[in-house]
Each structure stands twice: as C-alpha cells, then as structure tokens.
Amino acid sequence: MLQQTTFTLESRPRGFHLVTDEVVAGAPDLGDVEAGLLHLWIRHTSASLTVNENASPDVRRDFESWVNDAVPEAATYWTHTLEGPDDMPAHIKASLMGPSLTLPVSGGRLALGTWQGIYLCEHRDRGGAREVVATLVA
C-alpha cells in the first residue's frame, strides 16, 4: 500500500524548528498502519529536515549557532553571491542536514525514540512557506 500527499509547512524565521505535529497532520493518516515507512521530501534547496532532541529550545538554538559557524557567510570563497549573503550558505546547510527523512511507523504512530522530534531547518533569512511531499509505504 502506498499513499502520497503534499502539504505546506508555514513560514518560519531562520533557525531550527520542531514540526512533528505539523508533519503528522499533513502526512497520510498513520492510524491504521501496523508497520510501515513514512518518507518526507522538502521541495527546496535552502531548507532541510532532520530529527533531534524534542524538549529543549536551547538545543535548536545551538544547532543554528553551530551551522552558522560551520558554514560562515563571511567565507572568502563564495562565488554564488547574487541572492544575498545567506543564500549560498543555505544551500550547503540544506545538503548537510538533508532534504528528506524516512521514518519508521509502528502501531499507528511514528516509531520515534522518546526524545526524537522532526526539525524543519530554515536556512534563509526569509524562506517563506515550505512544501513537503509525504509518501507512506505500508
């Protein structure tokens, strides 16, 4: 069985954001899925998806600090600079974190660990709403 939906994550400021509930609401219904996989794909090259700690806002803040340190806007080697100083670093960050997640589904729910939540990683200063394709295999 395979089902597919497309949904939109609302516009957020640059940074790392917990979006587990918004993703589950937009994805195909998991309630009847005994065992399966939910695949998420973000249709953009300057935002990404990852899974990490779902409790402390400081974790998400520290992700943003680290990624800005690891992919500095002020690096002298950027040549793709037409769209602003946040653009080329956003492309790199998007590939670092990755455009997709494949999540296990078990007993009608995401089989995440206790502390795991889905992050939208918004790498642009003004990224706007982000479109996600969700595909359920069960």
Binding region for a copy of itself (CB under 8 A): 2-4, 35-37, 39, 41-45, 50-53, 56, 58-59, 61-63, 65-66, 69-71, 75, 77-80, 88, 91-92, 94-104, 106, 111-116, 119, 131, 133, 135, 137-138
Within 17-101, residue ranges assigned H as helices are 20-26, 57-70, 87-97
Is the backbone of residue 68 left (phi > 0), alpha (psi -120 to 50) or beta? alpha
**Residue 33 CB, nearest approach to a copy of itself (Å):** 10
Integer Cα distance of 135 and 123 in angstroms: 24
CB of 24 to a copy of itself, least distance (A): 16
Looking at the Cβ atoms of 31 and 113, the one nearer to a copy of itself is 113
CA dist., res. 117 & res. 27, Å (int): 15
